[in-house]
Amino acid sequence: MEEILRRFGRGEIGIEEASKELKLESIRKIKDFARIDINRSYRTGIPEIIFADGKSNNEVADIAIAVASEKGFALISRVREAEMIKERVEGETKALDVDYNAISSTIVVKKRGYKFERRVKIGLIAAGTADIPVAEEARVVAEVCGCKVIRTYDVGIAGIHRLASPLEEIVNEDVVAIIVVAGMEGALPSVVASLVNVPVIGVPTSVGYGLGGKGIAALLSMLQSCSPGLAVVNIDNGVGAATIAAKMCVRRKEESQKQNKFKNNEGRMTIEENIGYSFLDKNILNRALTRKAYALEQRQRNQACEDQEIFRTLGDAVLKAVLVDLLIQSGCKTRDEITRKKIELEREETLAKIGRELGIGESILLGAGEKKQRANEEPYVLAETFEAVIGAIYLDGGYDTAKKSITNLFYLT
């Protein structure tokens, strides 16, 4: 899809051709029984989930193979004959792993090494042990959709004292929503909603008997709740509850990214102001500020990201050439004198000091481990990133621009 948009942006194809290709790109036909929606997660934040009930095992397996091969993973719900589906998938390809959860009746088919991004947190509570299968369905779906799930089970109102400590722990995790699964009279979601300041999603289960059994009483109880902030899905609908919570996670993530982007943009603008050069292609500066660990983490999440390493090599070469040029102009006569002064100017401490003065540290994109170690304050990281920025200036503006910037930064004339 991105390549189609790039071709349109370059004028290689017209709007009608781009529209046609985008439509074809979004649909994959599986034999004569299915048309899978490849780009659903881009539009809605939720991937296509394969509902196994009503489909043959071969149909389910074929759809899962197609989706996982295209997107990296496929999620199947309401699985009846897991072993047959697993055998079919493994018989067709060795490139996919099959993870069956017997409690939730779900299967996750994914490419080997595929990792799900789990950043934003949600809470998950099950009233009783009998409600766990529906809760587990919600958990699996939410995790596949990118949520980190903080869960606690068997804390229903028959022993309400069991709820206090786990609920406090969930709230302290800064969750965006709490899914509460309950059968019988279905009172627990109302109780939780009355105690927390985040949205609660109630899931009635078909646990119960007699008049109002099979989830009817639980559903009606939740719908009649006087606790504000409680939304309710259908009976046993763990998938529905999880996808609602997942959309809240998507919104939280987008807001966080906007804030970080704003901060990063401010940082980049500061760097440009301090250097005295405004990049024509901001992506070049962005790459110069991207550490290898950060880029690797993004690629593991199937997001394209290039790191600064080649820019550092280029920047080091440009810096050496410019410094020699400037030192000769400043009156250095011998090779030994030029070498000695150049080595002094290229010292890690010198480059790190300039990088710190430019405000580079605040804008470096670090890997998770580097962030914990506050690597953006380390002299070697600042020095390496400064060299990458010099390489970026050379690529964006040419040698003369790089020379002018280096002259100003090193106070050499």
Residues 150 and 242 in one domain: yes
Q: Coil, helix or strand for 233?
A: coil
User: pLDDT by residue (tens digit) across 154-184?
Assistant: 999 888 889 989 999 998 888 999 999 999 9
Residues 210 and 128 in one domain: yes
Per-residue pLDDT for 260 more than 60?
no
Is residue 230 a contact partner of residue 193, using CB atoms and an 8 Å limit?
yes
- Token pair 């480059």: residue: 351
In the chain, pLDDT over 90 holds for what percent of residues?
Answer: 41
Q: Which of 62, 307, 384, 387 is catalytic?
A: 387
Catalytic residue check, 316: yes
Residues 223 and 287 in one domain: no
pLDDT of 178: 95
The mean predicted confidence, pLDDT, of the chain is 86
Domain total for the chain?
3
pLDDT of 412: 47
Catalytic residue check, 387: yes
Per-residue pLDDT for 136 more than 50?
yes
Instruction: Provide the CATH number for the domain around residue 181.
Output: 3.40.50.1970
Residues 100 and 41 in one domain: yes
Residues 142 and 160 in one domain: yes
Q: Which of 59, 316, 370, 384 is catalytic?
A: 316
User: Domain boundary residue among 84, 112, 140?
Assistant: 112
pLDDT of 384: 94
pLDDT of 269: 75
User: Domain boundary residue among 97, 112, 127?
Assistant: 112
Helix boundaries (H) for 276-378 = 282-288, 292-300, 309-329, 335-345, 348-358, 368-372
pLDDT of 244: 93
The whole-angstrom separation of Cα 254 and Cα 241 is 20
Q: What phi and psi, each to the nearest 5 degrees, are found at residue 356?
A: -65, -40
The whole-angstrom separation of Cα 338 and Cα 296 is 39
User: Domain boundary residue among 68, 96, 112?
Assistant: 112
Quickly state the pLDDT bin for 27 (edges 50, 70, 90): low
DSSP string computed for 169-231: HHHHTT-S-EEEEE-TT--HHHHHHTT-SS-EEEEE-S---STTTTTHHHHHHHHT--STTEE
Min mean pLDDT across 49-58, 266-275, 370-379 is at 266-275
Quickly state the pLDDT bin for 270 (edges 50, 70, 90): confident
Instruction: Provide the CATH number for the domain around residue 41.
Output: 3.30.110
Helix boundaries (H) for 74-187 = 82-92, 132-144, 164-172
pLDDT of 413: 40
Which two three-digit tokens encode residue 123? 């809470």
Residues 146 and 100 in one domain: no
Which two three-digit tokens encode residue 250? 């998507």
The answer to whether residue 21 sits within a structural domain is no
Quickly state the pLDDT bin for 191 (edges 50, 70, 90): very high
**Does the global pTM surpass 0.75?**
no
- Domain of residue 206 covers 116-254
Residues 67 and 120 in one domain: no
